[in-house]
Amino acid sequence: MRHASLAEFLTNGRAALAKGPVAVVFAEDDVEIDTTLRHHQKAGFREVILLAPAEIALPPALEAAIHRVDYNVHAEGALINGINPLIEAAPGVWLFYCYNGEYLFHPFCENRNIRELIAFHMEERREALLSYVIDLYAGDLAAFPNAVSLEDAHLDRSGYYALGRPDAANNNYPKERQLDFFGGLRWRFEEHVPWERRKIDRICLFKCKPGLRLRPDYTLNDEEMNTYACPWHNNLTTAVVSFRTAKALRTNPGSRFGISDFRWRNTVPFEWHSQQLMDLGLMEPGQWF
What's the pLDDT score for residue 185? Answer: 97
Cis amide prior to 21 (ω within 30 degrees): yes
What's the pLDDT score for residue 10? Answer: 95
Closest-CA residue to 246 (of 54, 106, 99, 105): 99
pTM above 0.85, yes or no: yes
CA distance 50 to 82: 11
CA distance 164 to 176: 9
What's the pLDDT score for residue 73? Answer: 95
Cα 31 from chain centre? 16
What's the pLDDT score for residue 40? Answer: 98
Taking CA atoms, 68 is separated from 1, 43, 110, 164, 277, in Å, by 6, 19, 27, 39, 31
What's the pLDDT score for residue 22? Answer: 98
Cα 92 from chain centre? 20
The per-residue pLDDT string of the chain (289 residues; one tens digit each, 9 = 90 and over) reads 899 999 999 999 999 999 989 999 999 999 999 999 999 999 999 999 999 999 999 999 898 999 999 999 999 999 999 999 999 999 999 999 999 999 999 999 999 999 999 999 999 999 999 999 999 999 999 999 999 999 999 999 999 999 999 988 888 899 999 999 999 999 999 999 998 899 999 999 999 999 999 999 999 999 999 999 988 888 999 999 999 999 999 999 888 888 989 999 999 999 999 999 999 999 999 988 7
What's the pLDDT score for residue 81? Answer: 97
DSSP bridge partners of 239: 105, 132
